[in-house]
A = this chain, B = another copy of it.
Amino acid sequence: MSLPKIIIEDIVRRALLEDLGHGHDSTSDALIPANQNGRLVMKARELGCLAGIDIAETAFRLFDSNLVVSKHMEDGASLKEGQEILSVEGAAQSILSAERTALNFMIHLSGIATETNKYVQAINGTKANIVCTRKTLPGLRAVQKYAVRMGGGSNHRFGLDDGVLIKDNHIALAGGVGPAIEKARAHTGHMVKIEIEVDTLEQLEDVLEHKTDIILLDNMDPGQLQEAVRLINGRALSEASGGVNLETVRSIAETGVDIISVGALTHSARALDIGLDIDV
């Protein structure tokens, strides 16, 4: 799923205004003649997966609608060191004022896409899907989840309103697994899926006496996961979470779980190294 223009513009506008602070660029404006043109090229400086090119383009366009932006790739593409991603031509002042905002989005989102893609590659051939969680950075959820998709992953819930996810605390407060699932069914619409978390195989057996759409197997080791998948036996989707990293993810995927969720994709993403050159 792509990001609608109206969503991109909203978040990019805020970012440009944040960088402008009291409303000016002290450096470019003072130093560079208004009629001086230039050309900026963004290039990858390491291997990775691209995400955020339309957002970067929007940063330049919103700052100065006369800038001409050329996209040399599309989001989701593989990046090699030195590869040209995007170029911009027009007023050098505008290019220099907008480039940091464009780049801040692109290095962050490409970092997420690249990390996601490593997980996706690591489980290649299994049936599992890599998904992100609600552990996102405030204000950036829509674009972070987009970046996960560009890296080949899928998205878990987008918010509190998006599906029911019954965790341990909910179960305790609702009076047990049975009442929790029953209340969820009774109070949510027909478009809403219900997922429930279990920590042990005993809890799983309890849950399996009720109908749910997904069962979250939290912090289980591969042996437990395999047994859990066997017990569920297709009656619900199975999701593994907890202790997932690039070393463990393949053994988790090979247990037969349907979904593997990784909070670190969005809460601990390393920026991808992307640089820029400007020609006068």
Residues of A within 8 A of B (CB): 1-7, 10-34, 36, 38, 62-65, 92, 96-97, 100-101, 103-105, 107-108, 111, 129, 131, 134-142, 145-146, 154-167, 169-170, 172-174, 180, 183-184, 186-193, 195, 214, 237, 239, 258-259, 263-264, 267-271, 278, 280
Question: A26 and B188: CB pair below 8 A?
Answer: yes
**Cα–Cα, bound, A166→B136 (Å):** 29
Question: B111 and A21: CB pair below 8 A?
Answer: no
**Cα–Cα, bound, A190→B186 (Å):** 21
Question: B36 and A159: CB pair below 8 A?
Answer: no
Since A1-B29, A23-B158 are in contact, a sample of 6 more A-B pairs with Cβ atoms closer than 8 Å, ordered by chain A residue number, is A26-B184, A100-B134, A111-B268, A190-B259, A268-B270, A268-B271
**Cα–Cα, bound, A169→B5 (Å):** 22
Question: A161 and B11: CB pair below 8 A?
Answer: no
Residue from A20, A131, A146 having most chain B Cβ neighbours under 10 A: A20
A186 proximity list for chain B (CB < 8 A): 30
A154 proximity list for chain B (CB < 8 A): 188-190
Question: B108 and A267: CB pair below 8 A?
Answer: yes
**Cα–Cα, bound, A14→B245 (Å):** 31
A2 proximity list for chain B (CB < 8 A): 24, 29, 34
Question: B136 and A20: CB pair below 8 A?
Answer: no
> CB within 8 A of A21: which of B97, B160, B170, B258?
B160
Question: B190 and A26: CB pair below 8 A?
Answer: no
18 contacts between A and B (CB under 8 A): A2-B29, A4-B24, A4-B63, A5-B63, A19-B159, A21-B158, A22-B141, A23-B146, A26-B160, A26-B163, A26-B188, A27-B164, A27-B167, A27-B184, A32-B173, A139-B140, A156-B190, A169-B278
Question: A27 and B268: CB pair below 8 A?
Answer: no
A258 CB to nearest B CB, Å: 7
A244 CB to nearest B CB, Å: 14
Question: B1 and A25: CB pair below 8 A?
Answer: yes
**Cα–Cα, bound, A193→B33 (Å):** 21
**Cα–Cα, bound, A129→B36 (Å):** 28
A121 CB to nearest B CB, Å: 18
**Cα–Cα, bound, A38→B174 (Å):** 12
